[in-house]
Amino acid sequence: MEKVLITCYKDNIASAKSIQGSCGILENEVIDQENGKVIQRYWVDVAEALEKGQNKYQSKKQI
């Protein structure tokens, strides 16, 4: 798996920030047909996200 699609409601700021912090790139926004809320669709490059996570872990480990 090279990329994954992760979604969250636009008003869920914490989830959006977590996705963005994992190298998520906003593709588009769509309307949820069931409740009318805006859904944000992010693509995450798995290798890039894992590398970023490893770097963050290594930095904390050295402190």
The number of angstroms, rounded, from the C-alpha of 36 to the middle of its chain's C-alpha atoms is 22
For the chain, percent of residues with pLDDT exceeding 90: 73
pLDDT reported for residue 54? 75
pLDDT reported for residue 52? 83
Q: Helix, strand or coil for residue 37?
A: coil
pTM of the model: 0.82
Is residue 35 predicted with pLDDT exceeding 80?
Answer: yes
Q: Which two tokens stand for residue 18?
A: 């977590």
Comparing 31-35, 45-49, 59-63, the range with the smallest average pLDDT is 59-63
pLDDT reported for residue 29? 98
User: Sheet of 24-31: strands edge to edge?
Assistant: 3-9, 38-45, 24-31
